[in-house]
Amino acid sequence: MQNRVIKVLFLVFLSMIIVFGFNTSQKVNAAENKDQVMLVYDSENTTDKGNKKIDALQRVLTSMNLKVRTLSQSKYKSGMLTKKYLGIISMVNWDQVGFVNKSFIKDRNNFSGIKLHIGNNISKDEVSSLGAKSSKLYQQQLTLKNKGSSQILPFSETITVLTDLPDGSQTIGVLNTQQPDLKTYGYGIINGKNGYLPYFDSTGLSYLTAVEMISKLFAKQGSFLPMLTITGVSPISDLKMLDKVSEFCYKNKIPFAISTTSVADNTGMKAFTRFTSELRNIENRGGIIFIKSPEVAGSGNNSSELRQVLTSYIVSLAKDKVYPVGISTDGFWNQDKILRKNFLMSADHWILLPNSNVTYLKQDNRSQIADMSYLGIKASSLKDVKKSAKTKFTTPTAILFPLPGSNVELASFKEEINKFVWFNPKKAGMTTAISTGTSTVSFKNGDYFVNGKKENIDTANSSSVFNKTIKKKAVLKNYFNVQGNVLMILFAVITIILIIFILLGRRIYWNGFNKRK
Predicted confidence (pLDDT) at residue 278 exceeds the cutoff of 50: yes
> pLDDT: is 182 or 176 the higher one?
176
In this structure, is the dihedral angle defined by the CA atoms of residues 12, 18, 23 and 29, taken in order, positive or negative?
negative
What is the bridge-based pairing of β-strands 447-450 and 453-455? antiparallel
> What pLDDT score does 26 carry?
34
Which pLDDT tens digit goes with each residue over 391-420? 899 999 999 999 999 999 999 999 999 999
> What pLDDT score does 515 carry?
53
> What pLDDT score does 128 carry?
96
Residue 349's pLDDT band (cuts 50, 70, 90): very high
- Report DSSP letters for 239-268, one per residue: HHHHHHHHHHHHHTT---EEEE---SS-TT
Average pLDDT over residues 337-343: 95
> What pLDDT score does 25 carry?
32
> What pLDDT score does 39 carry?
98
> What pLDDT score does 264 carry?
80
> What pLDDT score does 378 carry?
96
> What pLDDT score does 439 carry?
87
pTM (2 d.p.): 0.82
Q: Which of helix, strand or coil describes residue 477? A: helix
Average pLDDT over residues 188-205: 96
Q: Which residues, in sequence order, are CB contacts of 51 under 8 Å at separation 6+?
A: 44, 45, 355
Predicted confidence (pLDDT) at residue 474 exceeds the cutoff of 60: no
Q: Which of helix, strand or coil describes residue 82? A: coil
Mean pLDDT of the chain: 86
- Range from 85-94, 128-137, 341-350, 495-504 carrying the lowest mean pLDDT: 495-504
Predicted confidence (pLDDT) at residue 488 exceeds the cutoff of 80: no
**Integer angstrom CA distances of residue 106 from 15, 79, 81, 133, 167:** 54, 10, 10, 21, 28
Domains observed in the chain? 31-217 (3.40.50), 227-467 (3.20.20)
Which pLDDT tens digit goes with each residue over 121-178? 999 999 999 999 999 999 989 999 998 889 999 998 899 999 999 999 999 999 999 8
Which pLDDT tens digit goes with each residue over 432-458? 999 987 789 999 999 999 999 999 886
Average pLDDT over residues 3-13: 46
Give 3-state DSSP helix, strand, coil % of the chain, rounded to 5: 35, 25, 40
Predicted confidence (pLDDT) at residue 1 exceeds the cutoff of 80: no
Predicted confidence (pLDDT) at residue 491 exceeds the cutoff of 80: no
> What pLDDT score does 57 carry?
98
Which pLDDT tens digit goes with each residue over 304-315? 888 899 999 999
> What pLDDT score does 298 carry?
60
> What pLDDT score does 81 carry?
97
Q: Which residues, in sequence order, are CB contacts of 169 under 8 Å at separation 6+?
A: 130, 131, 132, 189, 190, 191
> What pLDDT score does 284 carry?
94
Q: Report d(CA 434, CA 289) in Å as an integer.
A: 12
Average pLDDT over residues 480-501: 66
Which pLDDT tens digit goes with each residue over 15-58? 443 333 333 333 334 445 579 999 999 999 999 999 999 999 99
For 453, other C-beta atoms within 10 Å of its C-beta total 12
Count of helix runs (H) and strand runs (E) in the chain: 12, 23
Q: Report d(CA 185, CA 173) in Å as an integer.
A: 9
Q: Report d(CA 415, CA 240) in Å as an integer.
A: 19
Average pLDDT over residues 194-213: 95
What is the bridge-based pairing of β-strands 156-163 and 149-152? unpaired
User: Contact, 376 vs 400, CB < 8 A?
Assistant: yes
Alpha carbon 52 to chain centroid, angstroms: 17
Which pLDDT tens digit goes with each residue over 60-95? 999 999 999 999 999 999 999 999 999 999 999 999
- Report DSSP letters for 113-172, one per residue: SEEEEESS---HHHHHHTT-EEEEEEEE--EEEETTEEEEPPPEEEEEEEESPPTT-EEE
Q: Report d(CA 108, CA 100) in Å as an integer.
A: 12
> What pLDDT score does 326 carry?
97
User: Contact, 376 vs 65, CB < 8 A?
Assistant: no
> What pLDDT score does 265 carry?
81
User: Contact, 33 vs 67, CB < 8 A?
Assistant: yes
